[in-house]
Amino acid sequence: MSRSAAMHASSRELDKFFGALSDGTRRGILQILATGEHHVGEIVAKFNLAQPTISRHLSVLDSADLVRAERRGQRVFYSLERGTLEAVAKRFFGKF
């Protein structure tokens, strides 16, 4: 991959990361997951939003590699993808 292509890919990753963090509900979900793993129903119970809305927010967070989903039976459990948070923070804030 050329340097220009690598920079463009890195820029897209940062856009996805900060785009995911731009919404207050998604930041709230990350705060909940900072306390440990939770299934969707537990996350929904913390908000005044419908389950499909929370699922869409979780999908955005998953797409940005900020959370990890694991299906166990009928439930989907989510946890923070701490490695992504750390790597992006170092890559972005390390430039300043």
If one compares 88 and 32, the residue with the highest pLDDT of the two is 32
Residue 44 has what pLDDT?
Answer: 97
Mean pLDDT score of the chain, rounded to an integer?
Answer: 88
Residue 8 CB coordination number (10 Å): 12
What's the rounded Cα separation, in Å, for the pair 96 and 84?
A: 19
Global confidence as pTM:
0.84
Residues 19-49 have pLDDT tens digits of 999 999 999 999 999 999 999 999 999 999 9
* Domains, in order of start, for the chain: 3-93 (1.10.10.10)
